[in-house]
Amino acid sequence: MTVDKLTPIYIAPANPAGKALADLLRQQGYNIASLADNLKQGQNIINNSAQALPGAIVVIAAGSFLHAVAAGLLLRGFNKSQLWVADSSANIKTYRLPLSYRFKQAATTAITLVFNTLRRCTPRAGYLYYAEDFFDSNVLLAYREHRRQYPQEAWLLGRKLRQQITELQNDSHVLEGLSGAGFWRCLTAKKLIVDHEYTGKTFSLLRQAIPVTQLWHGLPYKALSGNIHYPHVCDEAFISSSEWFNKHIFPKIFRAKQYLALGYPRNDALLQPAEQRDWINAEPLSLLREVQQDTGDIIVYAPTYRDWGDNDYPLDLAELNTWCKTQRVSFVLKFHPFISRKFADAMRLDNLDQLQQLPGLPHIYLYPSGKNVYPWLADAKALITDYSSIAYDFLLSNKPIIYYQYDIEKYRELRGETLVDDQDFITGSLVNNQAELQVELVKQLAERPALQHQKLHYLVVKMNVSSKLAIPAIVRYVRR
């Protein structure tokens, strides 16, 4: 069975693999209408069958997500006959949802029924902080304070963890996986506190049964999927650090009964002296002081992850090291975990769990990607980023931010329109190459321009970014 090249085709999912397939099929003469996705929303992306052209089909890019995407599209009104699949060579064939996936769906339905029945019969006790793959800073820091203040109430549950945090090893309230104890805490939890969106069946089950407080992990510049596309989801509360975002941005992305600007736990470090910061899962204060003494005050470079795969950041490290030596500063790189591994391999670094001084480049350091950089960021003389939400957080420091947007045209082409205008994101210098970057750093470190200081203050006021400690307020709210 073949596809007529005049047939309107939607390509799923709306990720780099889907976009690459769309380009390939378009080159072969197929009639590509746009993208389809069961999760992401945005310009030129449809999410349900009612949005599709008459007679259209959906071709799904083959991959580990194939069956989940297909199942999601079926739930959104597409017929089985509309779903097709294409391999990496763009060979299109009809799609069949495997019997094994249907069995898994039936098992999920049965487990959900049992869990909800048991939960109705068990008393409520305690608050469950939850994460998958890794404990991010907001959940981890909020849990720590809750546990300090009320030792018997707070529990921390991690599933499929890929990290080891030394400070948690002797904590009896830290649970891994849905073991007996983990399952019991899910049954009895008064609230579930998270800082990411998880799409797996386990979290979906828990979310429908337990009131969720979403701490999220940043004020976004770039487009997000959120959970607005799940009509059955409505969390108890969504917490951020900005009244403006809670009014104008987040309600379009996340479903919640209320939006609270209590702040982000990770931002507390930016408001505290070093001795008061929580250094859990961060490189220690003693090491920070050693770096400052040996090679100078730190500048942090924290670029966003490019999900289309082009993450070769244009830095001449030898030239940069010479510049840092002349300026008597230390350059700290904080990369996405995937990029950090590639970079470490290229530089022949052997320990990604500790701060690494680059070989032959003593003023440049690679910060562990799985650790919290905010206690160090609080001491930074300047931040260099591009499109990352870390820029909004760093406003609280009242220090220079330089936006190294060397690929802005490609970024906008591939990621689409941003959630906020540049005038509501950029407060400092915008540079496109390393020469401009180094010139602006010299200016900023010597004497910060008054205009940039005014723009920062204006943005803090407009966004109404919380400058109060977030963690105590969040613990009070959770216990309310």
CB 336 within 8 A of CB 302: no
pLDDT attached to residue 451: 64
37, pLDDT greater than 70: yes
List, in sequence order, every residue forming a beta bridge with 299; answer none if it has no partner: 331, 382
**Is residue 260 located within the same domain as residue 133?**
yes
Query: Which 3 state secondary structure label does DSSP give 318?
Result: helix
Spatial distance between the Cα atoms of 264 and 420, rounded to a whole number of angstroms: 20
Contact 229/250 with Cβ under 8 angstroms? no
- Together in a domain, 15 and 90: yes
- 206, 192 Cβ separation under 8 angstroms: yes
Give the model confidence (pLDDT) of 167-206 as tens digits: 999 999 999 988 899 999 999 999 999 999 987 888 989 9
Could you identify the residue written with the tokens 């350059």? 331
Pairing of strands 356-357, 364-366: antiparallel
Contact 408, 433 (CB under 8 A): no
* String of DSSP letters for 228-279: TT-TT--BSEEE-SBHHHHHHTGGGT--BS-EE----GGGGGGGS-GGGS--
Judge whether 426 lies within some domain: yes
Tell me: do 234 and 289 sit in the same domain.
Answer: no
Half-sphere exposure in the Cβ direction for 135 (13 Å, CA): 26
Give the mean pLDDT of the chain: 91
Residue at which a domain ends, from 94, 127, 153: 94
Q: What is the percent of the chain with per-residue pLDDT over 90, rounded to a whole number?
A: 69
Listed in sequence order, the residues at least 6 apart from 401 whose beta carbon sits closer than 8 Å to its beta carbon are 382, 383, 384, 385, 391, 394, 395, 427, 428, 456
The CATH number of the domain holding residue 360 is: 3.40.50.12580
CB count within 10 Å of CB 276 equals 10
The answer on 427 and 368 residing in a single domain is yes
Residue 11 three-state SS: strand
Instruction: Tell me the CATH number at 227.
Output: 3.40.50.11820
Residues 75 and 112 reside in one and the same domain: no
* pLDDT band, very low/low/confident/very high, at 448 (cuts 50, 70, 90): low
Tokens of 461: 């006021």
Instruction: Evaluate whether residue 282 is within a structural domain.
Output: yes
Which of 94, 126, 156 finishes a domain?
94
- Asked if residue 318 and residue 362 are part of one domain, the reply reads yes
For residue 46, count CB atoms less than 10 angstroms from its CB and return exposed for 0-12, middle for 13-18, buried for 19 or more.
buried
Residues 20 and 157 in one domain: no
- Asked if residues 242 and 392 have their Cβ atoms less than 8 Å apart, the reply is yes
Residue 2 lies in a domain: no
Sheet of 237-239: strand order equals 174-176, 154-159, 127-132, 191-194, 212-214, 237-239, 259-260
475 and 457 in one domain? Answer: no
Same domain, 257 and 308: no
SS3 annotation, 446-464 = HCCCHHHHHHHHHHHHHHC
What confidence score (pLDDT) does residue 17 get?
A: 87
Q: Give me the number of domains the chain comprises.
A: 3
How does pLDDT run across 115-135, given as a tens digit for each residue? 999 999 999 999 999 999 999
Same domain for 386 and 445, yes or no, is yes
Spatial contact of 189 and 162, defined as CB atoms under 8 Å apart: no
Structure tokens at 125: 């006790």
Task: Quickly count: other Cβ atoms within 10 Å of residue 2's Cβ.
Answer: 6
Max distance between CA atoms of the chain, in angstroms, equals 70
Q: Are residues 226 and 133 in the same domain?
A: yes
CB 182 within 8 A of CB 176: yes
For residue 3, tell me if it sits in a domain: no
Mean pLDDT of 24-35: 95
Does residue 1 lie in a domain region?
no
| Domain presence at residue 438 | yes
347 in a domain, yes or no? yes
Do 298 and 223 belong together in one domain? no
CA pair distance 237, 171, nearest whole angstrom: 28
What are the pLDDT digits (tens) for 333-384? 999 877 888 888 888 888 888 999 999 999 999 999 999 999 999 999 999 9
Of the three residues 48, 71, 94, the one that is the final residue of a domain is 94
**How does pLDDT run across 391-418, given as a tens digit for each residue?**
999 999 999 999 999 888 888 777 777 8
Helix (H, G, I), strand (E, B) or coil at 388: coil
Classify residue 120: in a domain, yes or no. Answer: yes
Confidence (pLDDT) at 82? 95
The domain of 312 spans 277-463
Amino acid at 312: D
Strands (E), 352-444: 356-357, 364-366, 382-385, 401-404, 429-431
pLDDT of residue 1 exceeding 80, the answer is no
